[in-house]
Each structure stands twice: as C-alpha cells, then as structure tokens.
Amino acid sequence: GSGVCHDEAMRGFFAVQLPDDVVEDLDEFVDPRRDATDAAPLQRDRRPPWRWIRPDNWHLTLAFMESVPDARFGELVDLADAWARRHAPLRMRLEGCGAFANPAEASTLWMGVDAEAAVVLGEWSTALRGIANAAGAMPDGTRFVPHVTVARSRRRRAAGRIVQSLDTYESRWFDVEWVTLIESHLGDGPARTPRYEDRALLHLGE
C-alpha cells in the first residue's frame, strides 16, 4: 500500500526444529552437566562460565541470513517452498557433542547428528544458501557443520571435560518433515536473548 517503506529487512534463518520429546530428552541429559558447570567458580565478572541456551530455542540452522529485504520475502519463501517439495523427509537423530572453535578453545558447545543425516543436511544447506542469495538475502558463507547449539561462552575456554560428558548422547530417531523459516529478533527474549518467530513452514516432499 501507499507509504510502505521497502528498505526494511529481516534477520533470519532456515532451520530444522526438533520434536518436543527429543527436546525434553536432551534437556534431561544436559541438565546435570548444566548444574555442574554453573556450580563452578564464577568468573572475575561474576558470571557463570557458560550461558546455556533455553531448550525452547534449540534448533539446527541450515542457512543464516543477516538481511532479508522485506520486498523479497515472498520470493524467498516461494523459492524455498519449491525446493522443499522436491526433497523427501529425512530420518535422523542427534548424537555426540562438539565445540567451536575446538574443545581446547571453546566458545560454543553443540550436539551433532548422525553421519548420514550430516551429508543430507549439508546438501540442504548449500541449496538454501543459494536460494537466499537469489532472493538478495545475504546468506552466511561459513563452512556448514550440522549442530544444535546448547551453550555459549563470552570468551574461549577449555571444554574438553564437558564435551566428553555430553558426547555420549544419542536421541531417538525422528523424521524431519518440515524446514522452518525463522525470524530472529535480537534482544527481545528473556535476559536479552533472541526471540524467534516462525515465518514460514516448508513441507518436504509432495
């Protein structure tokens, strides 16, 4: 309509969302490790060493987009929806733990996926980044590692012990039937964490 400004943009990402019972199961597994790290001596700034991500914010990012122009949002969804229809649902599970950059100098703790799913998710990520690029959405270009972030630290720290304790995790197998386009509202969530809003559900397969 008249007066609508088209230079607005959204920050968002395509993601696989986890079934509720998988989230609950992982939460129960992570909980004692969370308690153990929170009981460790506070840092000089009086903060716990790790900031644990709220379970309702857990997801597996396929393609992050710094800026999706509002005027191209419909095009982005249409392209992604056409892509999703051409791809079958994926059977996968969460397994193992890793750290970025590495366990000796970690600022992020994450749960991984099974090896076969990792290959498929890598292909999905490449395709969705291409779609984002075609819609002028500035996709992130870093190397894709399929993961669900569970904790972050303000500075890099040794995390070998906690990675080892989380590495034994395996979720049940589950079917990924949707990819979700999520908008990230920075600082809008509890304790200034991001607030996530589902903007489009892309059903895999016909």
Class of domain 11-39+47-203: alpha beta
The predicted structure's pLDDT at residue 6: 43
**Looking at the DSSP assignment, which residues form a beta bridge with residue 205?**
none
Residue 123, both tokens: 């292909």
Q: Output the CA–CA distances (angstroms, integers) from residue 38 to 34, 122, 151, 152, in the order listed.
A: 6, 34, 12, 13
- Contact (CB, 8 A) for 146 and 112: yes
> Do you know the residue count of the chain?
206
Encode pLDDT of 143-199 as tens digits. Answer: 999 999 999 998 999 999 999 999 999 999 999 999 999 999 887 666 677 889 999
- Across 82-93, b (16+ Cβ under 10 Å) vs e yields ebbeeeeebebb
Whether cis (ω within 30° of 0) applies to the bond prior to 40 is: no
Q: How confident is the model at residue 49 (pLDDT cuts 50, 70, 90)?
A: confident
C-alpha–C-alpha distance, residues 128 and 47, integer Å: 37
The structure's pTM equals 0.89
Residue 53, both tokens: 């991500």
DSSP at 17: P
Provide the phi-psi class of 195: left if phi over 0, else alpha when psi is between -120 and 50, else beta.
beta
The rounded Cα 146 to chain-centroid distance in angstroms is 8
Give residue limits of the domains in the chain.
11-39+47-203
Judged against a pLDDT cut of 70, whether residue 63 lies above it is answered with: yes
3-state helix, strand, coil in the chain (%, to 5): 35, 35, 30
Arithmetic mean of pLDDT, 20-42: 86
The rounded Cα 159 to chain-centroid distance in angstroms is 20
